[in-house]
A and B are shown apart, each in its own frame.
Chain A
């Protein structure tokens, strides 16, 4: 708890109350929808029918929805696809970004300015959807998982953030290693990377989240629906309301309106899409506040 500086006036009761109410409402607006969705996904069909839809108060709980999802089939496959793309993509992206960021971190090296300029120029314009689609098709990547990885593998923004961080490492450290005859690969691996765990974690999270959430590239490039990543499944079965389990009727509730069947399963799909992000997030979040990103953005 930080104490109030002496010169600052004592907060008024009204001001303090207002602030508490506003902040509580903001936090609730973020958390409550997630709570409802998670709770509904864990409820039995009976509890869902009794609630007349989404469950707001815990009743009868079960893991049936998850058993159904992971019992093989569409969602299981989509989770595998998304996981694979995320793991491979993140590893590749991090490797490429770290190498290029280090390669561009020494002003005055050969081709330093033009190469850096190539990356910076991408901030000013994007090639456009149609030509991008055509090049992916030309390379024969339609319906290949690589179409979800290669076009987005290097983000100029992440590269610039990383580069700014590398450039902040004191030059004396690197120079002395160079005088000792260490190669640049060795310096990067032995000295620079161990000093850059925070920024690597944050950039890794950015890439991983990008791959896990990749939606539109999959809409464009993956026509074969057996290769769909999770986000497309989420759209089809949750947002567009298609039934995952065929031949089930809408459930009639006491209030006299039809309820979409398998609401718990639909909510479980949302949770499955949500959980990896929620799991990794706390480990990386502390680095945000440590100013890894902020320092880079300002510099």
Chain B
């Protein structure tokens, strides 16, 4: 590919004569178009969908500054400035949703985040390749189940009519309603996330582990470093860039705790414990028709997320790591 870039096709060279002098090393636009029109044609359909279903709705966020009604449309609806945002910030239900979202993110940072790392180190230490592949196959699998399915499975095991309650009853105990207990909710959703995605989360750590030079371990072992010291001084430093990268991504995503999981369980547990920002937008808008208000809440969430990503990246650069995009 590098070859092609440096030496443009013959027709590009000839057709550039007489017209505006091209930038050095780059054929003029018309020649490049003739060379690349097929590539463009291939890209256009996907770009079209992206524009219609991503960028147009992004612009549609202007209704957050309107009192939008579907009958008047964006052009006919009156502008109200920051009214919807003022309403948002004085809405106790919004603060509940925000508090729940942040609490759940913080909780999962402590009780979810380290699990894939530990699991990856554990899997990596399994000597038999076939056994390791088998376990990997099993733990990756739930990642591909839908949230409805996962919640339904948990219900069958832990719910009021589930296996746990069934066993407790048969043993003569009172069943414990984990699935509807607001106090246990944060533990429940974290357990569900661990069950569904912790296995899949090991992939990236396993790749990082495979990239660590084994001669480091060998040298350390020869020098008398124990298993645990090698873990501490070689394995963990080797994982550091990946851990930081994923931490940044998680921080940037702090206001996203996963929509469907909460949407599905909100009614059973109650909004006080289970309302998060996404479900808040859904219930307040699509159920009541407060379009502009919902858009304002969504925009607030999007902007905070954007700021978090940028800030987290700055921090990563300061730590001397790459982050998700490079310093420009």
Taking a contact as CB atoms under 8 Å apart, the answer to whether B306 and A110 are in contact is no
Taking a contact as CB atoms under 8 Å apart, the answer to whether B153 and A33 are in contact is yes
Taking a contact as CB atoms under 8 Å apart, the answer to whether B162 and A53 are in contact is yes
How many residues does chain A have at the interface if contact means C-beta atoms less than 8 Å apart? 105
B113 proximity list for chain A (CB < 8 A) = none
Stretch at the interface among A71-79, A83-91, A233-241: A233-241
Q: B37, B59, B130, B156: which contacts A54 (Cβ < 8 A)?
A: B156
Bound complex: CA of A22 vs CA of B168, how far in Å? Answer: 25
Taking a contact as CB atoms under 8 Å apart, the answer to whether A174 and B305 are in contact is no
Stretch at the interface among B95-103, B139-147, B181-189, B231-239: B139-147
Q: Is A42 an interface residue (CB 8 A)?
A: no
The B-contacting residues of A in range 96-132, CB under 8 angstroms, are: 96-97, 99-100, 102-104, 106-111, 115, 118-119, 122-132
Bound complex: CA of A178 vs CA of B113, how far in Å? Answer: 48
**Given A37-B153, A54-B162, does the pair A294, B204 have CB atoms closer than 8 Å?**
yes
B148 proximity list for chain A (CB < 8 A) = 213, 215, 231, 234-235, 239, 273
Taking a contact as CB atoms under 8 Å apart, the answer to whether B281 and A130 are in contact is yes
A97 proximity list for chain B (CB < 8 A) = 46
Taking a contact as CB atoms under 8 Å apart, the answer to whether A130 and B140 are in contact is no
Taking a contact as CB atoms under 8 Å apart, the answer to whether A54 and B163 are in contact is yes
Stretch at the interface among A57-65, A193-201, A254-262: A254-262
Contact with B along A181-199 (1 / 0, CB 8 A): 0011100100000000000
Contact with A along B136-175 (1 / 0, CB 8 A): 1111111011111101110111000111001001100000
Q: Which 4 interchain pairs have the tightest Cβ spacing?
A: A128-B298, A131-B60, A213-B146, A103-B43
Q: B4, B144, B195, B295: which contacts A130 (Cβ < 8 A)?
A: B295
A242 proximity list for chain B (CB < 8 A) = none
The A-contacting residues of B in range 22-64, CB under 8 angstroms, are: 26, 29, 32-33, 35-43, 45-47, 49-61, 63
**Given A103-B43, A128-B301, does the pair A36, B156 have CB atoms closer than 8 Å?**
yes
Q: Is B110 an interface residue (CB 8 A)?
A: no
Taking a contact as CB atoms under 8 Å apart, the answer to whether A33 and B161 are in contact is no
With CB as the reference atom, state the residue of chain A lying closest to B290: A130
Taking a contact as CB atoms under 8 Å apart, the answer to whether B217 and A7 are in contact is yes
Consensus secondary structure, chain A interface: helix
Taking a contact as CB atoms under 8 Å apart, the answer to whether A122 and B221 are in contact is no
Q: Is B17 an interface residue (CB 8 A)?
A: no
Bound complex: CA of A134 vs CA of B68, how far in Å? Answer: 11
Contact with B along A1-43 (1 / 0, CB 8 A): 1111101110000000001001100110111011011000000
B65 proximity list for chain A (CB < 8 A) = none
Taking a contact as CB atoms under 8 Å apart, the answer to whether A281 and B144 are in contact is yes
Q: Is B90 an interface residue (CB 8 A)?
A: no
A175 proximity list for chain B (CB < 8 A) = 1, 3-4
| A binding-site residues for B, Cβ under 8 Å | 1-5, 7-9, 19, 22-23, 26-27, 29-31, 33-34, 36-37, 52-54, 56, 96-97, 99-100, 102-104, 106-111, 115, 118-119, 122-135, 137, 139, 150-151, 153-154, 156, 159, 167, 171-172, 174-175, 178, 183-185, 188, 205, 209, 212-213, 215-216, 219-220, 231, 234-235, 238-239, 255, 257, 259-260, 267, 270, 273-274, 277-278, 281-282, 285, 288-289, 291, 293-294, 297-298
The A-contacting residues of B in range 112-136, CB under 8 angstroms, are: 119, 122, 125-130, 133, 135-136
Bound complex: CA of A106 vs CA of B152, how far in Å? Answer: 46
**Given A27-B138, A54-B166, A239-B148, does the pair A183, B38 have CB atoms closer than 8 Å?**
yes
With CB as the reference atom, state the residue of chain B lying closest to A185: B38
The A-contacting residues of B in range 186-205, CB under 8 angstroms, are: 195, 199, 203-204
Taking a contact as CB atoms under 8 Å apart, the answer to whether A30 and B141 are in contact is yes
6 additional A-B residue pairs with CB within 8 Å, beyond A110-B39, A274-B145: A118-B47, A125-B306, A128-B299, A128-B302, A178-B4, A184-B42
A36 proximity list for chain B (CB < 8 A) = 156-157, 163
Taking a contact as CB atoms under 8 Å apart, the answer to whether A127 and B122 are in contact is no
**Given A99-B43, A257-B169, A267-B156, does the pair A30, B138 have CB atoms closer than 8 Å?**
yes
With CB as the reference atom, state the residue of chain B lying closest to A260: B161
Taking a contact as CB atoms under 8 Å apart, the answer to whether A9 and B152 are in contact is no
| B binding-site residues for A, Cβ under 8 Å | 1-5, 26, 29, 32-33, 35-43, 45-47, 49-61, 63, 70, 119, 122, 125-130, 133, 135-142, 144-149, 151-153, 155-157, 161-163, 166, 169-170, 195, 199, 203-204, 207, 214, 217-218, 221-222, 227, 259-260, 263-264, 278, 281-282, 285-286, 291, 294-295, 298-299, 301-302, 305-306, 309, 324
A291 proximity list for chain B (CB < 8 A) = 207
Taking a contact as CB atoms under 8 Å apart, the answer to whether B5 and A108 are in contact is yes
A276 to chain B, nearest CB (A): 10
**Given A122-B54, A234-B148, does the pair A294, B207 have CB atoms closer than 8 Å?**
yes
Bound complex: CA of A124 vs CA of B275, how far in Å? Answer: 24
B204 proximity list for chain A (CB < 8 A) = 294, 297
B63 to chain A, nearest CB (A): 7
Bound complex: CA of A25 vs CA of B298, how far in Å? Answer: 41
**Which one of B149, B282, B294, B302 has the greatest number of beta carbons of chain A within 10 Å?**
B149
Q: A31, A151, A171: which contacts B2 (Cβ < 8 A)?
A: A171
Taking a contact as CB atoms under 8 Å apart, the answer to whether B294 and A277 are in contact is no
Taking a contact as CB atoms under 8 Å apart, the answer to whether B40 and A130 are in contact is no
Q: A107, A213, A285: which contacts B5 (Cβ < 8 A)?
A: A107
A292 to chain B, nearest CB (A): 11
**Given A1-B129, A29-B195, A174-B1, does the pair A130, B298 have CB atoms closer than 8 Å?**
yes
Q: A52, A106, A108: which contacts B170 (Cβ < 8 A)?
A: A52
A99 proximity list for chain B (CB < 8 A) = 42-43, 45-46
**Which one of B139, B141, B169, B259 has the greatest number of beta carbons of chain A within 10 Å?**
B141
